[in-house]
Each structure stands twice: as C-alpha cells, then as structure tokens.
Amino acid sequence: MTSSVENLLARFDVSIDHRELLRVMHEHFRTAAFEENGTIAFPAGPRTVLVVKAEQGVIRWIHRGSAFDAQSLQTVIETAQRRLVESPGRVVSRTILHSSRVIAGYWRSEHLRLQIFPAPPPAPQPPVIMADHPFVLETEIMQGGDGFITNQRLLRAGVEWGLVLNAILRVSVKVPDPRGRHLWIYDDASGESRWLQAGYFVPGLDGLGATFTAWFGNAIPQFNHDEYYESWGPPLADRDLAPFPRSMDRLLSSFASLDAEHRDTYLRAARWIRAASDVWILNASSWFTAMVSAIETFVPRPTRRCPTCNSMIGITQNFRDFVEKHSPRSDHSMRQTIYSIRSGLSHGSFLLRIDATPWAFSATFDAEQRQAMDDLQRIVRDVMVNWLLDHESASGGGA
C-alpha cells in the first residue's frame, strides 16, 4: 500500500473505540477473512469491500477493497456513530469481584470516578476465611446507543479494573468469567455431587445506576507504599483483611491515563497473571510460565539476528535488563534461576516436582523451585507496579 491510498479510518469519529468498531464491522458484513499479512477483509470471499489493518485492538488503517461500496462504508460510519458515539449519557456500572481476603471497608477516588466496597446484604458470603470474598466495584461508563453496547462496556469496565487490581494488590482478585463453565460440585448438605454452573449472583443488585452507592462505613486500611509492597508478608494478613497501598490512586490514575497501545500491553500482562492464578491448582508449571509471560509482555523485542543461525540476538539479556530495572530488589542469581526454569518448562524438559508426581501424598516443591516461585511472584508485582509509576512520571504525573 502506498502513502497516497486514503485511510478511511479518518472518516470515523476519533473517539470511537477500535475494538467496538471492529465488532460493528463484523455485524454489518456478517463474515470476515483474516489474511496472512495481518489484515482483515470484510466480507470474506472474493468481493472485499473494506480491508482493515489492526494490531492488538488498535486499527492502523482501513482501505478500499476490490469491491468497495461507498454506501456500505457510509452505513458502517452511521451505525458506528449511532451505537458507539451518540449516548444518553454516563451511568454508574456495578460489578461483583472476589478477593482472596476480606474487603472490610470502602475506597473511592473522586477524580477516577471509582469506588470499592463490600458486597451488601443479601450477598451470599463464604462460611470460611480461605475463600473468594465478594466486593463491589463501581465506576462510570458512557452508555452506548443500545443496551448491548452498554452491557458490553459494563462487563469490560469490571473485567479490566479487576485485572489491574489483581496485578497491583497483594491479594488475588477474580474477575467475571464471560465464557461461563459448569463443574461437579459436592453438596455437604445432601451428600451428593451435582453438575452446576459456576457463578455468583446478588439478588436485587442492579448492574447499572444513576449515582454511586452512598457508603458511610469505615475506609479500607491503607499502608505506605514501601511498607505495603516490601514487607515480607502482606499487611493485615494475620487478620485475613485486604488493605490497600496509599499509592493506590496514583497507580490506578497512571493506568487510566495510558494511551490505547500501552493500556493494551498492561492488560495483556495482567491477563497472564490472572491466567496463572486460574491454572495454579491444575498445574504449577503452567503458573510459572504464565507469570514469566506477564513480564515478557513488556520486554523490548530484539532487532538484531545472528548471521549464522538467523535467530534473534539478546532475548534473554533484554529480559534480565528489564527485570533488573523494574525489580531492583531482584539479583542476578534470582533472575538467572527463574529464566532457566521457565526455559526448561516451555521446552518440555521437565515439570515442577509437585506436577511430576501429583498422586503422591507428600508431593511438594524442591527448595530451589519453591524459592524461585516466591521470587517470581514478588518480581511480577514489582514489574506491574513500577512500570505504572514509570509511565506516571513519563506523562508528567506525580504524587
């Protein structure tokens, strides 16, 4: 494509979310073909009307296809404007998330228009401490031109903010599962196993509201940034409570100010962390590789190739340099061990000891693997926090 070819993306409203626009195109043309050169042809088949280049949800350009139809383009533009841009106004979305420790209070950010508080009665509560404890996340979203778009934005807001919280807090935060799944569940009361859908529902809790919920209880306990992140154990773990760092507003503000590409990068890393938690109970080796993948999401890609074997030069060194910068408390030996274990796991050379003999009553990690997993968890959180602080500084933000 030459530079003289018109980029039809310029005809759309600049505020349009590109992922939503791609969905509108899919619905309009009904079919699409994903080409080897990374473009998307609408519709699929020989009579292509539009050709779109998109990377990680960001549309680079839209060009005319071999069967370009000006009326089809205009219909897509008008549909996108009506459904994605024109709005009845802002509304408060409410999403139930779950924390591995109790959220005992509220936290709010006025300028982010974000609020967190415990799930109110009659929300079901676990009868034990080691459980998924429900809490509510409220934030403002722009309503779409129809209920489908509004509900999609509600789910997206809850999932994305939940992923960020899971990445920066010293608790596990679970987000809604849009795919849904069924599980065999043992019912203590009846003594029977039942095939049930996994899910959580609070009777009477409306997912959308005109205003934020008035909450007048205690605030969530907060600790200074260094104390929160550098203490050996999470603060208030002995009381099974989930406190926040005093830098919480700064961290979330930094995320909110990211441009589309950096935002997508951060969320991609956060999804790897969430995936690691999900597979932990099934395969600790997959947890390990997923956590390293979260770091690698940020690592600059090498540009030089070996003249002999044509492989990229500097992949391992770039990883070590990035970790050293964003997790200064890690040392060379720690970084070396983690990357070595991950390489062995990824190439099928071995499994972590606990996965190799899952039937053994005494199955556990060897000392080196256990230490590497503890180190990796700290490093990943360092990376997710310090990367945000770096971008806060780069954008001119600050405390």
Q: What is the DSSP string of 346-370?
A: HTTS---HHHH-TT-TT----HHHH
pLDDT for 215 equals 84
Stated as kind and residue range, the H or E segment containing 58 is strand 58-64
Q: Which two tokens stand for residue 85?
A: 């841009």
Q: What is the pLDDT of residues 229-265, one digit of tens each?
A: 998 888 898 889 999 999 999 999 999 999 988 999 9
Residue 392: C-alpha distances to residues 110, 245, 388, 396 (Å): 18, 16, 6, 6
Residue 90 and residue 34 in contact, taking contact as beta carbons nearer than 8 Å: no
Residue 65 and residue 112 in contact, taking contact as beta carbons nearer than 8 Å: no
Which of 397, 96, 57 has the alpha carbon at shortest distance from 255? 397
pLDDT for 309 equals 66
pLDDT for 395 equals 54
Within 10 angstroms of residue 302's Cβ, the number of other Cβ atoms is 14
pTM: 0.90
Phi, psi values for residue 223, rounded to 5°: -130, 155
Q: Which amino acid is at 54?
A: A
Report the SS3 class of residue 219: strand
Q: Which residues of the chain have pLDDT under 70?
A: 1-3, 303, 305-306, 308-314, 361-363, 393-399
Which of 264, 298, 271 has the alpha carbon at shortest distance from 159? 271
CB environment 116-148: b (16+ within 10 A), e (fewer): bbbbeeebeeeeeeeeebbbbbbbebbbbbeee
Cα–Cα dist 72/179, whole Å: 32
Residue 96 and residue 134 in contact, taking contact as beta carbons nearer than 8 Å: yes
- The secondary structure of 153-183 as a DSSP string is HHHHHHHHHHHHHHHHSSS-EE---SS--EE
- Contacts of 340-345 with CB under 8 Å at 24 or more apart are 341/288, 341/369, 341/372, 342/288, 342/289, 342/292, 345/285, 345/288, 345/289
Which of 367, 332, 376 has the alpha carbon at shortest distance from 316? 332
DSSP annotation of 106 reads: B
Residue 55: C-alpha distances to residues 37, 61, 328 (Å): 12, 10, 32
Tokens 């053994």 appear where?
360
